[in-house]
Chains A and B, each alone.
Chain A
Amino acid sequence: QKEVEQNSGPLSVPEGAIASLNCTYSDRVSQSFFWYRQYSGKSPELIMSIYSNGDKEDGRFTAQLNKASQYVSLLIRDSQPSDSATYLCAVKREAAGNKLTFGGGTRVLVKP
């Protein structure tokens, strides 16, 4: 079992719809969770961080964390073609010396 798992996609959503991305992690003591966006041929950039259970909203993005079920999700509301990218879930794991462990990423394709 991978430490951080994501569906590789592609997740195809029509413009204006909600894109829902999920990530599960195996290390129960993980404390910090991050979503990075990576455009094709570019480097990852942070879009959301979440540290406690519940929802955190930032513009069109909402991160949701459920530590009991060991999953973190990202919702993209009113999806735009510019949201087409790969979204990487990252978990800060004590077992990895508090360094980030990344999932394989979910490719999102927003169709006009």
Chain B
Amino acid sequence: NAGVTQTPKFQVLKTGQSMTLQCAQDMNHNSMYWYRQDPGMGLRLIYYSASEGTTDKGEVPNGYNVSRLNKREFSLRLESAAPSQTSVYFCASSEPGHRDGIVYFGPGTRLTVT
């Protein structure tokens, strides 16, 4: 099993450009997440999806949109990138319920906005 996969691994954008980060998991998990990680800030939740067809805002949703395309795939879109969105983005998945704190992370996307 590949676990959680993300594309691309690296990306450089100019301010105002848009892009979509792709994520897929093959563990048949219902819950999927997008986090961003900035130095000293830990991981902050951007959006999550408890199941196919549902999405909810996390701690820092402004400037982002998401799509839960099916049970496997959860994409994150930046409509108009800003330098403040320079970060490392992690997609993750988990089983719901008692074990939903056990989160499996993808390898990350390192995004720089100039």
Interface residues of A (CB under 8 A from B): 4, 8, 32-34, 42-46, 49, 88, 90, 92, 96-105
Q: Apart from A42-B107, A90-B101, A92-B100, what 4 extra A-B contacts exist at CB < 8 Å?
A: A8-B40, A32-B101, A34-B101, A101-B59
The count of A-to-B residue pairs whose CB atoms sit within 8 angstroms is: 51
Q: What are 17 A-B pairs with beta-carbon distances under 8 A?
A: A32-B98, A43-B90, A43-B105, A43-B107, A44-B103, A90-B43, A90-B101, A92-B100, A96-B45, A99-B33, A99-B45, A99-B48, A99-B58, A101-B45, A102-B43, A104-B40, A104-B42
Contact assessment for B101 and A102 in the assembled complex, using a CB-CB cutoff below 8 Å: no
Q: Which residue of A4, A45, A92, A105 contacts B101 across the interface (Cβ within 8 Å)?
A: A92
- How far, in whole Å, are A43 and B104 apart by their CA atoms in the complex? 9
> How many angstroms from the CA of A92 to the CA of B8 in the assembled complex?
29
- In the complex, residue of chain B having the shortest beta-carbon distance to the beta carbon of A32: B101
A100 to B44, CA, bound (A): 9
Task: Identify the 9 closest CB pairs spanning chains A and B, nearest first.
Answer: A43-B105, A102-B42, A102-B43, A104-B42, A92-B101, A32-B101, A34-B101, A104-B40, A44-B105
How long is the Cα–Cα vector from A102 to B58 in the complex, in angstroms? 13
Please, which residue of chain A has its CB at the minimum distance from the CB of B50?
A: A97
* Across-interface contacts of A32 in B (CB, < 8 A): 98, 101
B43 pairs with A44, CB closer than 8 A: yes
- A3–B45 Cα gap in the complex (Å)? 13
A32 to B99, CA, bound (A): 9
- Flag if B102 contacts A46 (CB, 8 Å): yes
Residues of A near B108 (CB, < 8 A) are 42-43
Instruction: State the CA gap A65–B75 with chains docked (Å).
Output: 36
Task: Give the CA-CA distance A33 to B60 in the complex, in Å.
Answer: 22
